[in-house]
Amino acid sequence: MTKQKLVAGDAKSGVDTSVVVENGLFTAEVKKPPVVPVGYATVSKKKLLQNLEINGGTRVNAWVESMRASSPTSNRISNQDQTTWMDRHRSALQVFDEITDASNGKQIVMFLDYDGTLSPIVDDPDRAFMSDAMRATVRKLARRFPTAIVSGRCRDKVYKFVKLAELYYAGSHGMDIRGPIKHKKSPPSVLCQPASEYLPMIDEVYGLLMEKTKSTAGAKVENNKFCLSVHFRCVDETKWSELAGQVRSVLKNYPKLRFTQGRKVLEIRPAIKWDKGKALEFLLESLGYANCTDVFPIYIGDDRTDEDAFKVLRETGQGFGILVSKDPRDTNASYSLQEPSEVMVFLQRLVEWKERALIDYEREILKKQKVWKDQNYNGNCLFWNGFQPSS
Ligand SMILES: [Mg+2]
């Protein structure tokens, strides 16, 4: 078993719910980069997440092509390309021990995207349910590590999917962050909503897009409160340009909005400097890990928007990102997992590793104090000082 130094205060819960948020917390500064993870990606900047602005531009065809290219069914990947990519972004399951070794002595903080990471990608975004097994795994995970869900979805909607009050939630691509619910009757503590002033505009554009796109079969516009999603998944690929043109015709009148292309989806959001990477930084600060060298964030996601968070981890040298993808993609993530089922196995192993470490730690402490532990028939713990009871 891998030896590790435990982080103080993590033995019981790992989650600090006594968060105090101040305005000054928005500017993260991490001074000492920790260990650079093995398998770190070297990605040319121009190939990184591209913000495909269309306001005043004519890039509709460009992002439609980009969307096709990112569609797994459209990819033409040679075995050699696949092998080369896997060499650079090894499976997080295969290098699990390396990952836990790299976190030695640091507080792991978990960040999880939802769609395509905890739940399968489905045609109807309203039916992207996570399995009970995945929910149970995330619940166990949150008992051991501070855990946040970071999604492009409306925060309330993603909460209805996940149904775990003990987590942090960052909805609308991180523009709507709240902490865990301590008591059932108490309202959730809203930590950050940097785009509040855009709410009327988002609602207005939502109405216009609903009207404009209703002639395109399969098009779906989703209101995610601080941002919008136009889903292409159920639209015939020959109609993608048509739908893109409809979106553009609405967006050209809203220069304060920008949009990015994801997996068969267009994400429309306020043109502010806030993304999943900023949300990650904000949450780390909110948890008390600003300027902290003994924190080890792990971010798992499958979407282009998750690259903002991967990039933060790469640039700060903190923790690492794991891209969920079966196919090679330019990414700032260090490792890969193929699909949500592998994500669940990785999370389960992480929980088991931590629990074993806690048991080892407890044994070590008890040994030092010359106190032995046994259990009585009720399962309650009894302690004897100075001698070891017979079993
Ligand atoms: Mg996703």
The pLDDT score that the predictor gives to residue 239 is: 93
Name residues of the chain where pLDDT drops below 70: 1-60, 69-77, 184-188, 369-391
Name the CA dihedral angle for 290, 291, 294, 299, rounded to a multiple of 10 degrees.
50
Boundaries of every domain in the chain: 85-194+274-354, 197-270
Under DSSP, the state recorded for 127 is G
Distances (CA, A) of 152 to 32, 70, 214, 389: 30, 18, 23, 55
- Alpha carbon of 242 to ligand 1 centroid (Å): 25
The pLDDT score that the predictor gives to residue 31 is: 30
Under DSSP, the state recorded for 115 is B
- Strand spans (E) along the chain: 107-112, 147-150, 168-171, 176-178, 190-192, 220-223, 228-231, 257-261, 265-270, 295-301, 320-324, 335-337, 371-375, 381-385
- Alpha carbon of 331 to ligand 1 centroid (Å): 14
113 is catalytic: yes
Instruction: Tell me the one-letter amino acid at 9.
Output: G
Hey, do 85-194+274-354 and 197-270 end up sharing a CATH topology, with the first three levels equal? Answer: no
pLDDT in tens, 38-52: 333 333 333 333 334
- Alpha carbon of 235 to ligand 1 centroid (Å): 19
- Alpha carbon of 279 to ligand 1 centroid (Å): 15
The pLDDT score that the predictor gives to residue 370 is: 59
Residues 6+ apart with CB under 8 A from 304: 49, 70, 260, 261, 262, 263
- Alpha carbon of 117 to ligand 1 centroid (Å): 6
The residues that bridge with 340 in the sheet, in sequence order, are none
Q: Under CATH, to which class is 85-194+274-354 assigned? A: alpha beta
Considering only CA atoms, which of 238, 285, 244 is closest in space to residue 261? 244
- Alpha carbon of 183 to ligand 1 centroid (Å): 29
- Alpha carbon of 79 to ligand 1 centroid (Å): 25
Superfamily of domain 197-270: Trehalose-6-phosphate phosphatase related protein; domain 2 (3.30.70.1020)
Considering only CA atoms, which of 378, 379, 373 is closest in space to residue 359? 373
Q: Which of 16, 81, 97, 113 is catalytic?
A: 113
The pLDDT score that the predictor gives to residue 367 is: 74
Q: What is the pTM of this model?
A: 0.76
The pLDDT score that the predictor gives to residue 84 is: 86
